């Protein structure tokens, strides 16, 4: 036997809504002791009658897991970070996060998709992996962190190598594209 506040937390609804359901005789076995409503628990939840009309009940529904996408960012292939390592190119998009890593473990079923004419709308990938189980990237970081490390390296390179001069003493500008 539990009270209205504890039962409301179990059902993920407000206590006022639960008292309204009790007033409409929709909670099985609910009765009042003094000023407090108590109700029996069946399988961990109070049993509630379904209404004959109106919307279906929405409490404590199992949410479908978010679909995750794993793809390769081609722009980062071969880019070196400031510590001499290569930038991670595997992008894991899970819920509202985008994590880059060099190794990803997918602990469940997954599907590899190739659609050349209909690329993925968010990032333009033509080949990606879809999964409902959450991928586990090893030592992941964000895109902003990677770009910051790459730009630090290119700035230090440009500071070390000043303009080259030819044999006549005139300074030549370097036409190299920063990595």
Tell me the per-residue pLDDT of 162-178, one tens digit each, with 9 for 90 and over.
555 445 555 555 555 55
Kindly list the domain boundaries of the chain, sorted by start residue. Answer: 2-39, 68-156
Q: What is the pTM of this model?
A: 0.51
- The Cβ of residue 16 has, within 10 Å, a number of other Cβ atoms equal to 9
Per-residue pLDDT tens listing for the chain (179 residues)? 888 889 888 888 888 988 998 988 888 888 898 988 889 888 888 888 887 776 666 666 666 777 888 888 888 888 888 888 888 888 888 878 888 988 888 888 888 888 888 887 677 888 888 888 888 888 888 888 888 887 766 665 555 555 554 455 555 555 555 55
- The Cβ of residue 118 has, within 10 Å, a number of other Cβ atoms equal to 8
**Alpha carbon distances (Å) from 118 to 2, 35, 113, 158:** 54, 63, 11, 40
**Alpha carbon distances (Å) from 14 to 7, 10, 18:** 9, 10, 7
């Amino acid at each position: 036997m539990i009270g209205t506040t504890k039962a409301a937390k179990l059902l993920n609804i407000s206590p006022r809504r639960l008292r309204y359901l009790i007033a409409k005789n929709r909670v099985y076995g609910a009765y009042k002791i003094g000023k407090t409503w108590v109700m029996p628990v069946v399988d961990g939840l109070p049993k509630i009658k379904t209404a004959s009309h109106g919307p279906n009940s929405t409490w404590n529904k199992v949410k479908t897991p978010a679909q995750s996408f794993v793809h390769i960012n081609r722009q980062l292939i071969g880019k070196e970070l400031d510590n001499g390592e290569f930038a991670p190119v595997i992008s894991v998009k899970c819920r509202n996060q985008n994590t880059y890593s060099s190794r990803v473990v997918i602990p469940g079923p997954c599907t590899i998709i190739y659609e050349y004419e209909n690329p993925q709308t968010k990032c333009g990938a033509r080949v990606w992996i879809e999964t409902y189980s959450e991928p586990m990237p090893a030592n992941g970081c964000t895109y902003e962190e990677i770009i910051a490390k790459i730009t630090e390296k290119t700035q230090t390179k440009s500071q070390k190598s000043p303009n080259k001069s030819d044999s006549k003493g005139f300074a030549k500008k370097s036409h190299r594209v920063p990595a």
